[in-house]
Amino acid sequence: MHYPIVEKERVKNHLSITELTRLLGVSRKTYYNWQERGCMNVKYAARLLEIFRVAPAYLFSNLLQDEPPDAVGEDHVEN
């Protein structure tokens, strides 16, 4: 799950997936794709912040903790 805090807030706010997707203006399939694959559009991320009234750093905290992969590899040696 790419957005576990979104799911946590949905449940905390007593919203069904159908209700949340209606508020966002997306299909249930889109919601499930976000949870499975990630890649949520910024427009919808901003809307979630409005719906849940939380800070971006909280709602997407799991994404902020992920470190980007090393671009050159750990065993790269410069000459």
Whether 16 is covered by a domain: the verdict is: yes
Tokens 């949870």 identify what position? 35
Taking the model in full, what pTM does it have? Answer: 0.73
Q: What is the pLDDT of residues 14-72, one digit of tens each?
A: 999 999 999 999 999 999 999 888 888 899 999 999 999 999 889 888 776 644 444 34
Distance CA 38, CA 48 (A): 14
Whether 69 is covered by a domain: the verdict is: no
Q: Which domain, by its residues, includes 19?
A: 4-63
Whether 29 is covered by a domain: the verdict is: yes
Sign of torsion, CA 57 60 66 72? negative
CATH number at residue 40: 1.10.260.40
Tally the domains of the chain.
1
